[in-house]
Each structure stands twice: as C-alpha cells, then as structure tokens.
C-alpha cells in the first residue's frame, strides 16, 4: 500500500534532479564535516584543516572530506557529532516540513528540501554504517574502538530507521503538493 502510494507520488520529471548529484555530494560532505568542525569548536580543539572534497578511495579514510584537529587524544564528541546531527535533523525537518506543507506549491522545491534535509541524513547514516560493517572504517570504526560496537550498531539501526521513515513520510506528502500549472500563452500571465 505504502509502496504503491510512493510510486504514484513520483513522476519521471522528478528524476531530473539526479543531474545535481555533484552539488548534493558537496552539500552532504559540507554538512558532515561541518558537524565535526562545530564539535571541535565547542570542545575548543583547534582546527588545522577542513576539506569537503574527496581525497582518497572509499576505504573508510578521507573518502568524503575530513577535518583535522590538533588534539593529543581521540575525541569521541568530535567523531560522533555528524551522527547526533543525523538524529536531530530529521526531527527538525519533520516539524519544519509539517509547517511548510501548506506553504510550498512547487514539487521540485519540495523534493530538494526533502533530499537536502532528511535524505542527506539518511545517506550519511547508511554510507557510514556500510564503511563500518565492511571494514570497520570511517568515524564509526573509530568510535567503536572507544565504545562497545553494540552501541554503534544500535545507533545505526535507530538512525537509519528514523531517517528512512521521515524521508518516506516526506515523499508521501508529494501527493498534497500542488501540481505545476502551465500558463496558456493566450490567457496571459
């Protein structure tokens, strides 16, 4: 039932935004690394380098940018910051979009809003969990070295589930977003 509603809600023109994938990737990386940098600022760890561009293979090290901080020990708060964001962003997004549903009439604007908020959080959780379970890499691999891997698995289950539910809920709201209206040139603007 829900899958049928999702399929009915999506139109072929909605996939044109896939051409903006490089821009979305930069925004994804900026969001993820920005959370690391914000946490570093909050714990007063000086930031040496901030990169949002990929600099290595997807082996769990510097695959989507990185933030280098001057610290003598591993700071779990800095490592975990994007993942706290992955729990916070969909909840804020759900509240915000509940308010915006009646105010946005452009479905392409809505699709971008959905993807840039809960969609990127879902993607962040999913990709980093993949890096963790595949080769214990990425931030989650480092976090699992300081806390029990059970908690990393638990977090990923909650985060991926929450982000998937919110993203699906927002896509289902496409049905209530008004259809684009074509202007007949004979009628004028």
Predicted local distance difference test score (pLDDT) of residue 172: 78
Predicted local distance difference test score (pLDDT) of residue 61: 52
Predicted local distance difference test score (pLDDT) of residue 186: 61
Predicted local distance difference test score (pLDDT) of residue 38: 92
Q: How far is CA 97 from the centre of its chain?
A: 16
Label residues 33-60 b or e (16+ Cβ within 10 Å = b): bbbbbebbeeeebeeeebebeeeeebeb
The per-residue pLDDT string of the chain (189 residues; one tens digit each, 9 = 90 and over) reads: 667 776 666 677 767 666 777 777 788 888 888 999 999 999 888 888 888 876 654 454 555 678 888 876 668 888 889 888 888 888 888 887 777 776 777 777 777 777 777 888 888 888 888 888 888 777 888 888 888 888 888 988 998 898 888 888 887 777 666 555 455 556 555
CA distance 77 to 179: 44
CA distance 160 to 123: 8
Residue 140: partners with Cβ closer than 8 Å, 6 or more residues away: 83, 128, 129, 131, 132, 152, 156
Predicted local distance difference test score (pLDDT) of residue 178: 55
Predicted local distance difference test score (pLDDT) of residue 126: 86
């Amino acid at each position: 039932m829900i899958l049928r509603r999702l399929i009915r809600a999506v139109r072929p023109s909605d996939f044109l935004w896939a051409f903006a994938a490089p821009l979305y990737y930069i925004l994804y990386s900026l969001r993820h690394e920005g959370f690391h940098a914000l946490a570093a600022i909050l714990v007063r760890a000086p930031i040496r380098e901030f990169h949002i561009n990929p600099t290595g293979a997807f082996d769990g090290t510097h695959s989507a940018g990185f933030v280098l901080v001057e610290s003598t020990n591993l700071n779990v708060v800095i490592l975990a910051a994007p993942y706290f964001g992955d729990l916070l962003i969909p909840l804020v997004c759900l509240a915000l979009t509940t308010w915006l549903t009646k105010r946005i009439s452009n479905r392409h604007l809505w699709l971008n809003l959905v993807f840039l908020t809960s969609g990127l959080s879902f993607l962040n959780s999913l990709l980093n969990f993949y890096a963790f379970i595949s080769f214990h890499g990425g931030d989650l691999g480092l976090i699992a070295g300081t806390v029990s891997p059970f908690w990393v698995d638990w977090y990923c289950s909650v985060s991926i589930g929450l982000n998937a539910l919110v993203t699906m809920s927002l896509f289902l709201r496409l049905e209530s977003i008004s259809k684009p209206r074509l202007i007949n040139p004979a009628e004028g603007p």
